[in-house]
Structure 1
Amino acid sequence: MWRARLDDPVPGAALFLAVEAGRLLGFVHLEPKPDGRILLDSLHVRPGDSGRGLGRLPLGRALAWAAAAHPGRDVYLEVLQDDTRAVAFYERHGGHRTASRVCRFDQSFELPEFEYTWPAGAAGPLDDGLPAERGR
């Protein structure tokens, strides 16, 4: 999946990396969807580095980028309901729960998930002077 995303990116998509001293600490990937919103498809921090506030930086960059590159469009993500740490993180950082549903996986199982949305232009509180964007 990642090889395909990097080799043939979706027009208007972006990938931002969090790097410290040459070490990848995390990343965030976003892409525009046909319904007019921007999907924050992946926000990951390296295991062992979570809990240091590192997720806030890529989230802030993602929201700031979306506001600049796709003005007027909401940003949303889907998170498994049982990922209570991630749910708390998104709520702490301004995400509004906008849906609850069951996610059906290709491997023939289902898990409940939530959708969180940041309304268009919600970048303000999280955009705290991050380096210039690098996206596709």
Structure 2
Amino acid sequence: MPDSFLNGPLTDDRLTLWRERLASPAQGSGLFVAHDDGELLGFVYLFPAPDERILLDNLHVRPVSIGSGIGTQLLRRGLAWAADEHPGRQVYLEVLYANTRAIAFYERHGARRTDERICRFQQGFELPEFEYAWPMN
């Protein structure tokens, strides 16, 4: 992402988004957090997409906790939740092409690339992204 966005409106943009999501959760959505003694270590958020699939929209782990297994635990929890709450619906995500660490993580956990496209951000820039999905059982 452009430095002008990362060093500018990104924080306000994310605060607005999460305040809205927490104040009025999307029907059928799931938010799961990992914490230790009240400290947030990571979270995963999923919700039903208009195309009837389940979008894994966010999976984040604090940088100091990367490699600790928290991301794997959150991903497994999110996928299990989706299977229980939305049986028969495929889980997918969108990841920026340059996010090679996340791509490797998702591929290690069974996700398969299903599409590639250009993501157009409301802030006026475009970046290539991939779509990944987990095979339906």
TM superposition score category, shorter chain reference = 0.7 to 0.9
Q: What corresponds to 1:97 in structure 2?
A: 113
1:27 aligns with 2:43: yes
Aligned pair count? 121
Worse overlay, 90-99 or 20-29:
20-29
Worse overlay, 16-25 or 74-83:
16-25
Give unpaired runs (5+ residues) of structure 1.
122-136
What TM-score results when the alignment is normalised by the length of structure 1? 0.86
Q: Secondary structure at the match of 1:34?
A: coil
Distance (whole Å) between structure 1 residues aligned to residue 19 and residue 38 of structure 2 = 21
What's the CA shift for 1:120? Answer: 3.0
What's the CA shift for 1:61? Answer: 0.2
Q: What corresponds to 2:3 in structure 1?
A: none
1:45 aligns with 2:61: yes
Distance (whole Å) between structure 1 residues aligned to residue 88 and residue 98 of structure 2 = 31
What TM-score results when the alignment is normalised by the length of structure 2? 0.85
Q: Deviations over 1:78-122 (max 9, x none)?
A: 00011100000000000010001110111211111010101334x
Matched-pair contact (CA < 8 Å) for 1:18–1:24: yes
Q: What corresponds to 1:81 in structure 2?
A: 97
Matched-pair contact (CA < 8 Å) for 1:27–1:43: yes
1:6 aligns with 2:18: no
Q: What corresponds to 1:132 in structure 2?
A: none
Q: Residue type of the partner of 2:91?
A: V
Is the helix fraction higher in 1 or 2?
2
Give unpaired runs (5+ residues) of structure 2.
1-16
Matched-pair contact (CA < 8 Å) for 1:79–1:115: yes
